[in-house]
Every structure is written in structure tokens, then in C-alpha cells.
Chains A and B, each alone.
Chain A
Amino acid sequence: MHELAITQNMFDIVLKKAEQVHAKKVTKINLVIGEMTGVVSDSVQFYLDFMTKDTIAEGAVVSIKMVPAQARCRNCNRTFEMQEYDWTCPNCQGNIIDVIAGKELFVESIEVD
């Protein structure tokens, strides 16, 4: 639902960079998004298509690298991928964990002509 705000922020970053490097056209936007953010990639593309009309990014394709939610167990230090219904350490069944990946939300790069 917050894809509109996220896409707007992303678009601002992309346009600023494209202007800095005097790009004629932005063809691709590479994003890194953590699974836990709940960002829906189809919505990002949908909003972007609206926002980029009549800009140098018109027609740009969004490519999203999804990062799975990962945790580290404080008890045994094991790193594991969290499943939706189970955040327990598969090694020692410990319950105290630190989330170490899955909250990412950044523009990795753009591809320009």
C-alpha cells in the first residue's frame, strides 16, 4: 500500500542521478528489497509507469532483487532463513534472535543510455 510513497522516493533518487551523469534515457532501475518490507513489485512498476511519463525514465523497467528474511540466533550464533510461521532457531530451538537481513530497501543501480 505504501508503494506510492516508496516509488516516488525511488524515482526522485533515480532522476537526480540520471541528471548528474547527463543520461539521455533511463532503461532499467535495479532495486534491492527485503522480504520483510512487504513491498509488492507489481505495484512499484505500476506507479512508476505513471510517474515516468514524459520523463527520461519513461518505459524504464524495474528489476527487483528480493532478499530473504534472515536471522541470527543469540544462543548458538547460527544464521538461518526465517519462515513465515516460525522464527525459532532450527539448530537449538532458541527464541532470541536478531534479524540480520530482510529489511533492505534501496536503489542498487540504474542502467542508462
Chain B
Amino acid sequence: MEIKILKDILGANEQIAQKNHELLVSNKIFAVNIMASPGAGKTSVVIQTILALKNKVRIGVIEGDIASSIDAETVAKEGVPVVQINTGGECHLEANQLLNALNNLPLAEIDLLLIENVGNLVCPAEFNLGEHRKVLIASVPEGDDKPFKYPLMFNTVDAVVLNKIDLLPYVKFNVVGFTKTVKNINSKAEIFKVSCTTGEGIPAWTKWLTDQIKRR
């Protein structure tokens, strides 16, 4: 006997994500889910963002990693509240983990929450956390073919930050082609070209972020 179900497999996660969103909104927090492959520079972008904005908005950070608290310790040096989530093997953050982390942050003291997801271009795209915006950090050494290989991720995000542009003279990377491919997959996505080493492009990225917070 066949029984119809027609139920979304990620429905449970979606429900908790909705709760998270309500919790964030009620605390007037703007949350950004930052995703990238390992080594693209998520933590560096988080730190550059803190340095650029910490006198303008009160920032909190959630660090997602399979193991270790290295990233949380690095970010904590900047003097912002940070919570580390260790997923213990899972390759992405889920909404219930974010809920636990939110319960461990001083929410009344945060305007902008930066959520650094687990380094992975596949799985995090599927799991909404309740954030306001999704941002993907790509980087020059990864190659310009990543949008072809991970279209769902590139299609899901509101902005793409291309990091490590200071390496362009040394690496074969077609910026025009990359930009065109990203726009093909996601015409809405804003694209920022930055270097966390030289600081180039960071003001454009943080200006966009500030505008998004105002708009929310």
C-alpha cells in the first residue's frame, strides 16, 4: 500500500530557522550567513568587517567548525562577543545549532551578527539558519570555475565576495569570466572584489553590508 506524504525533508530545519529569524528580529539583530570553501578567507573577511564597522555597529560572531575553537579565539581578540559551534563531523550548520548559539550570546548588545558557516560549498546552501542575508566568499586561488561546480551555492546567495585579489598577478583567474558566470547563475548577486591582506575593496563590501542593515 502506497501512502502519500509530500513532506519537505528539510521542513524541521526550516521551522527552527523561522524561529531563529523571529528571535533575531525581536532583538533588532541583522544576521549574515557567511559561506565558503575551507581556506577562502571567511575568518579574514569577518575580521576585516569587524575592524571596518566596530565603531558604527555592535557586532557579534558565531563560528561554525567541525572541530576546534581556533577561529573563535582569533575573532575574540577583536573584542567582540563570539560563540564557537563545533558540529562534530557535520559539514554544515543547522538551524537548531544556531538557536543554541544565540542563547549563549548577549543579544541585546548586538546589531550585526556574522555567522561563519563550516567550510564547504555544497551542504550549507541547503540549510537556512534564519539569517537575513547569505554571502559567499570565493577566492582567487580556488579558480574561476567554482560557480560552474557549485551552482546551487552561487544561486542561493545575496552577495559574492571574491577574496585574495592581491594574488591575481600570480594566479590564472579570469575575473571578467568569473563575474559573468556568477551573474548568469544569479543575476541578483552583488559581487565584491577584495583583499583582506591589502584592504582593497573592503570599504565597498562594508558599505553594502551597512546599507543592507539599514534596509532590512
Binary interface encoding of chain B residues 141-153 relative to chain A, with 1 for a CB under 8 A from any of its CBs, else 0 = 0000000100110
Interface residues on A, range: 35 or more
Main secondary structure of the interface of A (DSSP, over half): mixed
Report which of B90, B151, B152 forms a contact with A4, defined as CB distance below 8 A: B90
CB distance from B81 to the nearest CB of A (A): 28
- Whether B126 lies near A95 (C-beta < 8 A) is no
- For B147, give the chain A residue with the smallest CB separation: A87
- Is A38 interfacial (CB-CB < 8 Å)? yes
CB of A48 to closest CB in B, whole Å? 12
When each residue 16-41 of chain A gets 1 if its CB lies under 8 Å from chain B and 0 otherwise, what string results?
01000101000000110000111000
Complex contacts, B92 vs chain A, CB 8 Å: 2, 5
Instruction: Closest A residue to B124 by CB, please name it.
Output: A2
**Most interface-central of A31, A37, A88, A111 (chain B CB within 10 A):** A37
Shortest beta-carbon distance from B44 to chain A in Å: 24
Q: Which of B46-54, B68-76, B129-137, B179-187 forms part of the interface with chain A?
A: B179-187
Interface string of B79-106 (1 = CB under 8 A from A): 0000000000011101000000000000
Report Cα–Cα, A99/B91, bound state, in Å.
25
- Is the Cβ of A6 less than 8 Å from the Cβ of B10? yes
Kindly name the residue among B3, B12, B122 whose own CB sees the greatest number of chain A CB atoms within 10 A: B3
Contact of B7 among A97, A99, A106 (CB under 8 A): A106
A99 to B155, CA, bound (A): 8
Instruction: Report if B120 contacts A (CB, 8 A).
Output: yes
- Tell whether, in the assembled complex, residue B2 and residue A37 are in contact, meaning their CB atoms are under 8 Å apart: no
B108 contacts the other chain (CB 8 A) = no
**Does B8 belong to the interface (CB within 8 Å)?**
yes
Contact of B94 among A5, A10, A111 (CB under 8 A): A5
Residues on the B chain within 8 Å of A30, using CB: 2
A-B contact pairs, 13 of them (CB 8 A): A2-B92, A9-B12, A23-B3, A37-B152, A95-B183, A95-B184, A97-B184, A103-B152, A106-B6, A108-B6, A109-B3, A110-B3, A113-B1
Nearest 6 Cβ contacts at the A-B interface: A2-B123, A96-B187, A36-B152, A1-B91, A87-B184, A107-B5
Chain A: residues with CB nearer than 8 A to chain B?
1-2, 4-6, 9-10, 12-14, 17, 21, 23, 30-31, 36-38, 69, 74, 82, 84-85, 87-88, 95-97, 99, 103, 105-113
